[in-house]
Amino acid sequence: MGAIFKVPAGIIYFLGGIWGLLICLRIIYDAFGFFGSIVAFFILPFTLYLAPWYVAFADGNWLPVIVIYGTTIVAGALFFIGALFDKN
């Protein structure tokens, strides 16, 4: 019964992660160019964590933060509900 909630949670988490990665890479690409995004992806991955917060505070665009952290919260809640169903 818990799979009814866990499978959508996994799908939301996966799609939100891919969408968030693309958004963060685009933010870094706009700020630092192609080579900056390559360096950020392979050498300095913590910049992918900081990119949505940079855009949120610098430009007032909160969509990247909502996409990345919102999908994680929703997926976590669904997974938690599924775990409660599996527990019983």
Range of the domain at 54: 3-87
Q: What is the pTM of this model?
A: 0.84
Which pLDDT belongs to residue 26? 93
Q: How far is CA 83 from CA 10, 12, 75, 79, in A?
A: 13, 16, 12, 6
Confidence class for position 57, pLDDT limits 50, 70, 90 = very high
- For 60, the token pair is 């007032």
Which residues contact residue 82 at a Cβ distance below 8 angstroms, ignoring those fewer than 6 apart? 2, 3, 4, 5, 6, 9
Q: Positive or negative CA dihedral for 41, 47, 49, 53?
A: negative
Average pLDDT, stretch 3-22? Answer: 94
How many domains does one find in the chain?
Answer: 1
pLDDT of residue 48: 80
The pLDDT of residue 41 is 87
User: Does residue 43 have a pLDDT over 90?
Assistant: no
Q: What is the mean pLDDT of residues 21-48?
A: 90
